[in-house]
Amino acid sequence: MVPYIDSMDGPVVKAAETALDMENIKYILPHVSSEDEEELKDAFDRTLLVRELSGDAAELADYWFFETAVRLNRKEEKKSYTGLKSADIDWGPIIPKVDKAIETENIDELLSFILNLISEDIKSRFEDLLAKKDYDINDVEDAREYINSRSEFIDYTRKFYDYFEKG
């Protein structure tokens, strides 16, 4: 999956747009490291100058500034920059739910979604395991299937627990 950060509707580009609209670099500075701050400030100043030339120049300068901001953000996160992605990418349900939770300052819908997702997955795996439990003792392949399914279920739930317990 393409990182959400790299998209035209991601938080870095949105912050860069606001910085340009408000002519205030401080809206975008938190998205880059202090060591890259000067490069971003220089790009910001140049973009503001070019924006005054024409609509086409402003569009091109803005895009260049967005690319610079995202590239520097990715650098800080030690991730590769592969260019800006379009705003029409379907990120699935989780990112819009996270954004909505932040915007509304209410996490209930997001928690409900995640807990239901986890619950359904674990239940489905458990039901698959139980369906294999009552195997015919004379059918060694069915017995192996049950043993493997049981081991996989235990391993899955243990890893799940470890992820949350140990981070």
pLDDT tens, 89-124?
777 888 889 889 999 999 999 999 999 999 999 999
Q: Is residue 82 part of a domain?
A: no
Do both 159 and 106 map to the same domain? Answer: yes
Q: Answer yes or no: is pLDDT of 32 > 60.
A: yes
Look at the chain and report how many structural domains it folds into: 2
Do both 17 and 69 map to the same domain? Answer: yes
Which tops the pLDDT comparison, 79 or 14?
Answer: 14
Name residues whose C-beta falls within 8 Å of residue 66's C-beta, 6 or more positions apart in sequence: 8, 12, 13, 16, 17, 84
For 150, the token pair is 């049981």
Across residues 75-101, what is the average pLDDT? Answer: 85
Beta bridge partners of 7: 85
In the Cβ-directed half-sphere of 2, how many Cα atoms lie within 13 Å?
18
Residue (of 146, 129, 127) closest to 137 by Cα position? 146
Which residue among 76, 106, 121 closes a domain? 76
Which pLDDT does position 82 carry in this prediction?
A: 85
Q: Is residue 88 part of a domain?
A: no
Q: Answer yes or no: is pLDDT of 67 > 90.
A: yes
Q: Is residue 81 part of a domain?
A: no
**pTM of the entire structure?**
0.68
* 150 phi/psi in degrees, rounded to 5: -65, -45
Do both 98 and 139 map to the same domain? Answer: yes
Across residues 148-160, what is the average pLDDT? Answer: 95
Rounded to an integer, what distance in angstroms lies between the CA atom of residue 40 and that of residue 73? 10
Range of the domain at 157: 94-166
Do both 122 and 154 map to the same domain? Answer: yes
